[in-house]
Amino acid sequence: MARCPLCSEGPGKRYCPAKGSQICAVCCGTKREVEIDCPASCPHLIAGRAYEAEKQGPDSEAARGVEKYSNEFVYKYSPILDAISRSVVEERLNSPWLVDNDVIEVYKSLAATMKTLSSGIYYESLPEGSVRISLFKRLKAQFDELMQPSSIADRRSLKVSEAVEVLDFLTFAVQANSGVRPKSRRYLDWLTSMYRQVSSADQSSGLILP
């Protein structure tokens, strides 16, 4: 049996679609979503995520977040949440290197930018890295559109304070549903799969929190 090409020690027993070769179980377990950009379809990734989620157990921070953001909040902002989430999915499809941590940092940068609008001194708090900046600009354009006066009778423009609340919620949603590994795409993979499965007519804020 051939040796694992990553460590040259263990026997290559698991096929790694990201590497296109058989790697050992140890490298698969320790380098998954750390050094290896695992595709969402990898069965070992799916099994590993399920195991880690079960092992982590209840998260007190996530529980507090669920209590903070009521069903009324989600219902009220569902069109905005869906619009922003759709934009994230569109960016992800154009930028395969995007990971959950990038989305979190972009949300935080956008929230910081929005807060400067309230102070009267506008300043864009751009995140670091071209991948994050690209997502930032896409979402900023989306928020700018949502905050413009609307000619549609049943749609009002989003306030700055509301935009900050929405971004805080979205940040919590990604943090609560992502993995601990630096290249985790657990939330992004889930969000992308949902938008591929359902039509826009059936989409609701239920897509935000798995």
pLDDT tens-place values along the chain, 210 residues long: 789 999 999 999 999 999 999 999 999 999 999 999 999 999 999 999 888 877 765 555 555 656 678 788 889 999 999 999 999 999 999 998 999 999 999 999 999 999 998 777 888 899 999 999 999 999 999 999 999 886 665 667 899 999 999 999 999 999 888 888 999 999 999 999 888 765 444 545 455 554
> Are 41 and 66 members of one domain?
no
Same domain, 163 and 67: yes
Could you give the CA distance from residue 26 to residue 11 in angstroms, rounded to a whole number? 10
Residue 150 lies in a domain: yes
Q: Do 97 and 51 reside in the same domain of the chain?
A: no
Number of domains in the chain: 2
Q: Does residue 80 belong to any structural domain of this protein?
A: yes
Structural domain span for residue 125: 60-207
Q: Domain check: are 89 and 122 in the same one?
A: yes
> Residue 149 burial (CB < 10 Å; 0-12/13-18/19+)?
exposed
Q: Are 167 and 71 in contact (CB under 8 A)?
A: no
Same domain, 143 and 47: no
The verdict on 43 and 74 lying in the same domain is no
- The answer to whether the CB of 100 falls within 8 A of the CB of 146 is no
Residues 66 and 25 in one domain: no
> What is the pLDDT, as a whole number, of residue 207?
53
Beta bridge partners of 22: 15
Q: Which of 163, 179, 178 lies closest to 83 in space, CA to CA? A: 163
Residues 41, 64, single domain; the answer is: no
